[in-house]
Structure 1
Amino acid sequence: MHRPPSAAAEVVEELASVRPGLVDRFSAHLPGARAAVLSRLWRAFAHEPLPWIAGRETAGDGLVLRLRDGRRLTGPAADPYRTDAYVPAVRLDGVAYDDPARLVTGLGTADSAGFAAELGHSTASLALSRAAQSETVRESGPQHHPDEWPDSDWDWERRVVDGHPYHPNCRSRPGFSVAEQLAYGPEHGPVVRLGLVPVAAAECLVSGAWPRELRDGARLLVPVHPWQAAHVLTGRPREEGPAAHPLMSLRTLAVPGGPHVKTALSARLTSSVRDISVASVGASADVSGFGQALAKRLDGLLHVTGTLGAVAAGSPDLAAVLRESPGVYAAHGEHVVPVAALTGTGLPDSPAWLASFARLALGVGLRLLETGVALEAHGQNLLVVLSSSGEPLRLVYRDLADIRVSPARLARHGIAAPGLPARMLTDDPVALRRKLFGSLVGGALAATAGSGAALGKALEAAVRELPGTPDLTALREGRLPVKSLTLMRTSPRSTGDLWTELPNPLHGT
């Protein structure tokens, strides 16, 4: 029977044409990429409420999953907070699988074909990302001394090579050719020339102040990503825009000496197609002002990057947001580092440093939550300002699009929240805590710690010094809510977030 070529084989074929010198390095990185994706997948199998799993039981140092069709899937015990590639293979009824795409194909569950293809793409793209990294960034290990650290925000983000620390689709970029990944992926270090699409100002929704340099008489010049211009906005005339550096989200780019430009990029990245909705553009100035005003109540421990201007030209396919660079909140000698890039500094290797960072991040998050705002403080949105010696001083938060706001809690503190989108508003404490704890504790802090043991110790040291609130009690006593990333990805008929609960790193149950 004819089998379609694997994603890895397709990458090798394209690399031989566009970058032949990377073929051998790509092949060398494939086994490690398979283990990294398989480890994320095994975490999901061990902890998410997947409908085809009937039960789970420990067996010595391992885990056995009983499938509803009678088969058994066995592998190592799964620490839900571990981030290294610790699963080289699992066994399905005794047959070993080291390739996550082949495993999902062998399981034959509903929607397995599409998910297997995405896993194959994620694996191949991850191997490509690792192969193309320079030796100084990827292979010399953590840079422990601040003098070795990058001096630009895009160089920090370039270091986040492996993508989402817990999502099996950590590097899935369907719709991107190998040449496009090399040209647009931040881990490859490219410079991207943005396009500028002229649109009559009367046809645009503008929020905030659209800058003079992006105006041409009665027309606005809307920044567009080259991929979007080539694949979605075909035929639209455009001018040459500024050179910029892509950041972790791929669609947001940093203009040297200028703002961060969030572009519309209608491609599926990790889990979903992300656009810039017309409604979010309309609310952007109000949301930005609200976030910055709230941050001022936290004694200088938090900054929120301001939205300078936003525009939508009739649809989510042609829209852009201009934001402050987080670097504007650093004093001389300080570094603003995305939390996702902290492991590259070596700082989290110190239990004392990790506890200090957890105390800062959790303290700020809980103060805001008690006031009425739950941040989605994952490793991409949350940044930390480090002193010249590496001590965590304060936080920077960017992209308020997915926060949740409690009008009732705000009212108790005498705070108004006019102009916020209805989808942000909820007084449900479960929804508010899920948003913060799932992103900050189960995401940013967990990935920084790298294991449940390290995370538990850091949290224990942190919570002893934090004011007691009902939210902190819920964190200490309950299980930890996190998004069911694989369940969401394999449930195409479901909308919105799906959740599960992990063992609490504070007490292990």
Structure 2
Amino acid sequence: MAGARAAILARLWGALVREPLPGVQRQAYGGDTRVTLPGGERIIGSTALALPFAVPPEGMRLVTDTVAVDDPVELLRAVRLPGDAVRLATEIRSSLAGLALARAGQPGPQGGGPALEVLAGRADGLALLEQSVVDGHPLHPCCRTRIGMSEAEMLAYAPEHRPTVTLEVYAVPPKRWLTTGAGLAPRLPVHPWQREHVLSAYPFLKPTGEKIAARPLMSLRTLAAVGDPTRHYKTAVDVQMTSAVRIVSPAAVRNGPVVSRLLTTLSADLGLQVWPELAAGAVLGEDGTPLRSLAVVARRAPRPGPNEVVLPIAALAAPSPADGRPLIREAVTLGYGGHPAGFLADLAALIVPVLLTLLHRGAALEAHGQNLLVTLSHGRPTGLSYRDVGGVRLSPQRLRRHGADVPALHGDLASDDPAELRAKVLASGFAVALGEPIAVLAWEYGVVPELLWRLVRERVEVVYDSLPPHAVADAHAVLGEPLPLKATTAMRLAADPLTDVWASLPNPLAA
């Protein structure tokens, strides 16, 4: 429990130091930072432990005016944060319980060969590597929040506990079924949590007897079939995980197949493999509205080649099943003889051109560590994949300029605001998808992070040298403006916790 407390306290402390919270002031002195809250209360802690992806020691403490605390829930009791601190405390309490359970349930190192070699070429390797991600979101203090799920249910369904989950398929009256893309028969695969907690309100859904054994991926509600691990099902689970209840919205049902096809076309010359959302389906309510609690998206993942593993970028920081050290160390050893700069340079060479060229063309990917995946061959990055199109932003103006057809879009995917488009890409793909591997390499190898970021900057400059002159505004923002990062704690304290709020970090790409 001490390690879980420190991990979440460090995430919360980082948020208090960097996020735009009303009336909060910060002052750094020596190796510490003092945060002064609107009511005058003060919190003092290590400046280094407030940095993104910091690795806190067990027993990490923050000092308030009245007490020293090593527990994030105690900190929220001791001070008055602006906004809905009661909601945040409830969510962090759930996160702390979930993370402690996750860490307590991990097996020790298994020994044997490197996991990246043992799992090479295996279709189930993706799920097994995703399930090695124990701590969840690397910056969010609600990294393991699962409000509405009991401890027994977390053990039965959460990926870090490595279960096999049985999806049951229910027959839907054809007149109550909406399907998109290639089309799904009126059959709804239902997550067992949803079956137990939601399905009784819909007696017209009848079990078919068909069952699908599947392994949960990082998002818990998305699962890979055991019989064919390339078949993925994004299911609805009415549980709050991190910041949102994980339903499948009507917009996701309608957008998924169309947007994944568009992204495939836009990136055809860039080497990005977009995992197609082949079809989606939703039960219709009595008024004809798709029900977000009774919907599914069918996705197809690629099969790895004989010497390949495919894994989310986030899994590079996860402990290897072989020795418990970050998986990125295996890649650096296998592919680069222990020299981390070579790995980072090759990873950046895959990520940077794809994200910035697609931004220029009108597609801003939400390329965080769960959605962006890398193919490794003998430890070397050789391919890039993207999945889950629900968080992208598409600029009709930029798409038309590029000569692309703009499909009908539902929900909030369409935006021509350049600041919103850039923030989506930079906060996910640069601050997190590149920021976390750089932080882990710096920690593991004693490398100065600025040297690794310089390799990223060089790749950015090459990309913008090759793009048309009207990309100059994007280039100036990427290389000169503060780096955006989603302010997840400020959002949880806000009256509307789902509206994006951005923190600003010093830009490591700036000259």
The answer to whether the superposition gives a TM-score over 0.5 is: yes
Whether 2:322 is the aligned partner of 1:322: answer no
Q: Deviations over 1:245-287 (max 9, x none)?
A: 0011110000021510000111111011132122321233221
Q: Could you tell me which of 176, 190, 212 is aligned with 2:149?
A: 176
Report matched runs for 1:387-398 at 5 Å. 387=377, 389-398=378-387
In the other structure, the counterpart of 1:89 is 61
What 5-or-longer segments of structure 1 have no aligned partner? 1-29
Trace 1:56-455 onto structure 2 (pairs within 5 A).
56-78=26-48, 79-86=50-57, 88-109=60-81, 110-136=83-109, 146-149=116-119, 151=122, 152-210=125-183, 215=185, 220-234=186-200, 236=203, 237-238=206-207, 239-256=209-226, 257=228, 258-298=230-270, 301-314=271-284, 315-325=291-301, 327-328=302-303, 330-343=304-317, 344-345=326-327, 346=329, 347=331, 350-387=340-377, 389-421=378-410, 423-450=412-439, 455=449
Counterpart of 2:408, as a letter, is: G
Q: TM-score, normalised by structure 1?
A: 0.86
Does the CA contact (< 8 Å) of 1:446 and 1:455 recur in 2?
no
How far does residue 49 in structure 1 lie from its aligned partner after superposition? Answer: 1.1
Change (3 A) 1:58 1:143: farther
- One-letter identity of the residue aligned with 2:429: L
What is the alpha-carbon distance in structure 1 between the residues aligned to residue 53 and residue 166 of structure 2? 38
Q: Is contact 1:359–1:463 with CA below 8 Å preserved after alignment?
A: no
Root-mean-square deviation (CA), in Å? 2.1
Tell me if structure 1 keeps the 8 A contact 2:364–2:424: yes
Report the TM-score, using the length of structure 2 for normalisation: 0.86
What does residue 15 of structure 1 align with? none
What does the per-residue CA deviation read over 1:2-28, in whole Å, with 9 as the maximum and x for residues that have no partner? Answer: xxxxxxxxxxxxxxxxxxxxxxxxxxx
Aligned length: 463
Gapped runs of 5+ residues in structure 2? 285-290, 318-325, 333-338, 465-470
Q: Is the 8 A contact 2:4 2:100 kept in 1?
A: yes
Q: 2:493 aligns with which of 463, 468, 490?
A: 490
Match of 1:384, SS state, is strand
Q: Would the alpha carbon gap of residues 267 and 136 (structure 1) be closer, same or farther in structure 2, given more than 3 Å must change?
A: same
Task: Find the residue that maps to 1:130 and give its secondary structure.
Answer: helix
Contact 1:83 1:166 in 2 (8 A): no
Q: Kindly tell me: are residues 46 and 333 of structure 1, through their superposed partners in 2, closer, same or farther at Cα, counting changes over 3 Å?
A: same
Q: Deviations over 1:268-309 (max 9, x none)?
A: 1101113212232123322121122122131xx200001121
Runs of 4+ with deviation above 6 angstroms: none
Query: 1:350: how far off?
Result: 1.2
Alignment equivalent of 2:457, drawn from 443, 457, 463: 463
Residue aligning to 1:37: 8
Structure 2: distance between partners of 1:445 and 1:59: 29
Q: Cα deviations across residues 374-416 of structure 1 (Å, max 9, x unaligned)?
A: 10000000000111x1111121000111111112222222111
1:351 to partner: Cα distance:
2.4
- What amino acid maps onto 2:158 in structure 1? G
Q: Is the 8 A contact 1:358 1:458 kept in 2?
A: no
Q: Is the 8 A contact 1:356 1:462 kept in 2?
A: no
Q: In structure 2, how many angstroms separate the alpha carbons of the residues matched to 1:467 and 1:444?
A: 18
1:5 aligned partner:
none
For residue 494 of structure 1, report the CA deviation from its aligned partner.
Answer: 5.2
Residue identity matched to 2:45 = G
Q: SS at 2:279's partner residue?
A: strand
The code of the aligned residue for 2:417 comes to D
Q: CA shift at 1:242, angstroms?
A: 0.7
Of all paired residues, the percent bearing the same amino acid is 39
Q: Quick one: distance in 2 between partners of 1:393 and 1:185?
A: 30
Contact 1:445–1:455 at 8 Å: present in 2 too? no
Q: Secondary structure at 1:250's aligned position in 2?
A: coil
- Find the aligned partners of 1:446 and 1:143 in 2 and give their Cα distance: 28
Quick check: 1:143–1:149 contact (8 Å CA) kept in 2?
A: no
